[in-house]
Structure 1
Amino acid sequence: MQLVGVAITLVIILFLTMYRLPYYIYEPGNASALDPMIEVDQASNSEGDMHLVTVRGGQATPIYYLWSKIQPYHKIYPIEKIRQGLSDEEYNHIQLQYMDSSQDQAIAVAFQEAGLDVSYEFDGVYVTYVEDKMPASEVFQAGDQILSLDGHPVERTEDSIQYVEQKNAGDTIEVEIMRNGEEVTKNVELAPFPDDPEKIGMGVGLVTKRNIVTNPEVKINSEDIGGPSAGLMFSLEIYDQLTEEDYTKGYQVCGTGTISEEGKVGRIGGIDQKVVASDEDGCDLFFAPNEQGAENSDYKIAAETAERIETDMDIIPVDTFSEAVDYLKSLEPKG
């Protein structure tokens, strides 16, 4: 009888800790110094650090779900709202592609601000996701490189879009693919998109992989962190290493926001959780997307969160990379 009780207890423990619920939970992550992740040739050193701030996420177990229900900065979402029909592989692949693009844009912005030139080498067109209800779902996989359509080389995403636009629903295209190091030829039928019947296509998301060329060279190792939200902080760290002036002024500088090639800072998700993470990791100031002073901007949410958790960290609204640089220039060195 005692063995039965132990077995039942073990089953309950395993269920509470291992069973996967159809929910995804986000919580405050951490603020990681960017200096170890970014290497600019002949970089200058700084007294402080620029930080990338993350949100930690994972699929809910029963115990994790119950715990998160009572945590103020844990957010629970139905998993289909996060994945939107994508497999784990497709979702992760898209997030890493966003990160790659964000890094290139950050390099371009930092070099432009420093008065230096950049150029690009294009390295193919890749599948980021596949529409489940389109013929492409039986042909493509996330990560496939599109080499040609009906024998026409595809070097950029625009090549594929322009070729497909000339076709009609029901037409078949011969696609040459590079998959796991092997060239594969497939036929795919064009069809209307389920959510936009006026538009036809193969039913895949594509991205052009390009390598940015700079002098001095920039190397970034963000490991398995995905998404575009570190763009602003990447650009600030690169600029700080490129220039002789120490823009950290000895402070621990945190922040978040996408970055466009024009230097505009964009909205991100989980701003309140990132403020909490930055405060817990001892940051002195936090840059937040101002969104031109919009009513529910990331900056306003960040400022409200900072007040709620009673942090001493300053929350700074920015619309552009240049505004962030100007703010850092105006700081007195940390005493």
Structure 2
Amino acid sequence: MSKHKTRIWIIILIIVFLTLNYIKLPYYLNLPGDAYDLKKIVEVRDGDHASGAFMMTTVGVSRSKINIFAYVWSFVAPYHELIPAENMRRQGESDKEYYYRQIHMMDMSQNVAVALAYEKANKQVNYLYNGVYVMSLIKGMDAANKLKIGDRIFKVDGKSMKQSEEFIKYVADLLPGDTVTLTLERDGDILEKEITLNVFPGEPEKHGVGISLVTDRKLDVEPEILIDTNKVGGPSAGLMFSLEIYNQLTEGDLTKGYKIAGTGTINYEGIVGPIGGISQKIVAADRAGAKYFLAPNENGVPNSNYRDALQTVRDINSDMEVIPVDTFEDALTFLNSLNN
């Protein structure tokens, strides 16, 4: 083959490679993330110190849709999981909107964890309500052209509004074509937006503003607490946050010197909920040297997070012990049973 033809083939291969690299497939990629020592993230003023560690585990997620090379790699690399795009994003949701929603869910999860831990430790907790955040917008509605994800609405038609329930109740009495004036904060500026209520696209029996909301509820606690999550999103660290905070608020060391990883959402009643990516989190915890892993038991259903975690531990030949928990109290019972 002549040098000229060789150059042509090289150029063709480069063009093909670059083309395949930039073509995006309708998938995202989940892979094992990291395990973070929560002592480095959570600090209660004058809190008790632990010799071990409670560890928050994460799933690594591609920031955008993957190319053909990542797609092929997912079938070779262990615990790299393809996630259809429609399962990662709400319909019409941008990467920026998705990222904001994940960060906000983490903030909400932290608030729940703080409130639960302080109340269990018999410490002071006060709730401060500051309006509602816009979490999503429905295309085709008037609000979609005037509001933005992250707007904090605190007045409706001049009336102060503290919670999403108040907003929903107020709007429920209005009809299609009616307007409301929303006073909101956006990037530090105070704005007023007049919004017309519309019939929902494809749902002629429903009408409204066309936004989903979440209450902006802050906590005032004593002693003071500082949390730095380095922009790790999602609600799945709720259980581990609550345990770390409770451990710092109370005398003694629940870790007993062990590295204890885990995952699971938590609500104000202390119920532990299931999460996604349990296998990837098991791998992350094992890599970090965790001795125990607290996993949502989901009241013993056959395909629970706990069962999946057990299988992953077997598959990777880990010595880590998986502990099933349904509640915050279940976790405390196990931790109190550990020997120093």
* TM class by smaller structure: over 0.9
Percent identity at matched positions?
43
Q: What is aligned with 1:242?
A: 249
Answer yes or no: is 1:60 the counterpart of 2:88: no
Write the letter of the residue equivalent to 1:325.
L
What is the DSSP-based 3-state SS (H/G/I as helix, E as strand, rest coil) of the residue aligned with 1:224? Answer: coil
Count of residues in correspondence between the two structures:
333
Alpha-carbon deviations, 1:266-301, whole Å to 9, x = none?
A: 111111211122112211110011111122211111
Is the contact between residue 130 and residue 154 of structure 2 (CA under 8 Å) also seen in structure 1? no
Which of residues 164, 175, 181 is equivalent to 2:188? 181
Alpha-carbon deviations, 1:7-26, whole Å to 9, x = none?
A: 44443443444443321111
Write the letter of the residue equivalent to 1:124.
G
In structure 1, stretches of 5+ residues that fail to align are none
- Residues 156, 285 of structure 1: alpha-carbon distance in 2 compared, 3 angstrom cutoff: same
Is the contact between residue 15 and residue 62 of structure 1 (CA under 8 Å) also seen in structure 2? no
Alpha-carbon deviations, 1:207-238, whole Å to 9, x = none?
A: 12122111111111102111100000001111
Alpha-carbon deviations, 1:98-130, whole Å to 9, x = none?
A: 111110111111112212221112233211111
RMSD between aligned alpha carbons? 1.8
CA distance in 2, matches of 1:314, 1:192: 53
Alpha-carbon deviations, 1:287-332, whole Å to 9, x = none?
A: 0111111222111111122122221100000011111011011011
Which of residues 75, 99, 105 is equivalent to 2:106? 99
Which of residues 121, 146, 161 is equivalent to 2:153? 146
Q: What is aligned with 1:31?
A: 35
Q: What is aligned with 1:162?
A: 169
Q: What is aligned with 1:284?
A: 291
Is the contact between residue 89 and residue 142 of structure 1 (CA under 8 Å) also seen in structure 2? no
- TM-score normalised by structure 2 residue count: 0.92
Answer yes or no: is 1:70 the counterpart of 2:63: no
CA distance in 2, matches of 1:16, 1:48: 47
Answer yes or no: is 1:213 the counterpart of 2:217: no
Answer yes or no: is 1:80 the counterpart of 2:86: yes
Alpha-carbon deviations, 1:165-187, whole Å to 9, x = none?
A: 11112222222232222232222
Answer yes or no: is 1:313 the counterpart of 2:313: no
What is the DSSP-based 3-state SS (H/G/I as helix, E as strand, rest coil) of the residue aligned with 1:35? Answer: helix
- TM-score normalised by structure 1 residue count: 0.94
**Superposition pairs of residues 90-129 of structure 1, within 5 angstroms:** 90-129=97-136
Alpha-carbon deviations, 1:241-274, whole Å to 9, x = none?
A: 1122111111110000001011110111111211
Answer yes or no: is 1:20 the counterpart of 2:27: no
- Residues 131, 37 of structure 1: alpha-carbon distance in 2 compared, 3 angstrom cutoff: same
